[in-house]
Amino acid sequence: MIDSAFRFVRISTMKTIPVLLLALMAAITTHAADAPAGKTETAIIGGGCFWCTEAQYLLLNGVKKVISGYAGGHKDNPTYEEVCEGTTGHAEVIKLEFDPAVVTYREIIDLFWQAHDPTSVTTEDMYKHGKFLPKGTPYQGNDYGTQYRSAIYYLNDEQKKIAEESKAAAQAKYFKTVPIATEIAALKKFYPAEGYHQNFKERNPNQGYVRAVVDPKTEKFKHKLEEEGKIKADKK
The DSSP code sequence of 186-211 is E----EEPPGGGTTHHHH-TT-HHII
Residue 184: which H helix or E strand, with range? strand 183-186
Catalytic residue among 43, 49, 103, 152: 49
* pLDDT tens-digit map of 173-189: 999 889 999 999 999 99
* pLDDT tens-digit map of 216-233: 999 999 999 999 999 999
**In the prediction, which pLDDT does 182 show?**
97
Beta-ladder partners of 69 = 93, 192
CB 92 within 8 A of CB 140: no
Mean pLDDT of 95-118: 97
**In the prediction, which pLDDT does 219 show?**
98
**In the prediction, which pLDDT does 37 show?**
52
* pLDDT tens-digit map of 148-169: 999 999 999 999 999 999 999 9
Rounded distance, CA 228 to CA 224, Å?
Answer: 6
Count of other CB atoms within 10 angstroms of residue 232: 14
Q: Of residues 213 and 16, which shows the higher confidence score?
A: 213
Rounded distance, CA 59 to CA 66, Å?
Answer: 10
Give residue 194's identity as a one-letter amino acid code.
Answer: E
Residue 124 clears pLDDT 80, i.e. is over it: no
**In the prediction, which pLDDT does 179 show?**
94
Cα dihedral: 120, 46, 221, 200 (round 10) = -120
* pLDDT tens-digit map of 15-56: 443 444 434 344 433 333 333 457 999 999 999 999 999 999
Q: How confident is the model at residue 129 (pLDDT cuts 50, 70, 90)?
A: low
Q: Of residues 25 and 94, which shows the higher confidence score?
A: 94
**In the prediction, which pLDDT does 135 show?**
84
What is this structure's pTM?
0.82
Rounded distance, CA 39 to CA 97, Å?
Answer: 10
Please confirm, yes or no, whether 49 is among the known catalytic residues. yes
Residue 94 clears pLDDT 50, i.e. is over it: yes
Residue 200 clears pLDDT 50, i.e. is over it: yes
Residue 122 clears pLDDT 90, i.e. is over it: no
Question: Which positions ≥6 away from 176 have C-beta within 8 Å?
Answer: none
Residue 13 clears pLDDT 60, i.e. is over it: no
41-235 adopts what CATH topology? Peptide Methionine Sulfoxide Reductase; Chain A (3.30.1060)
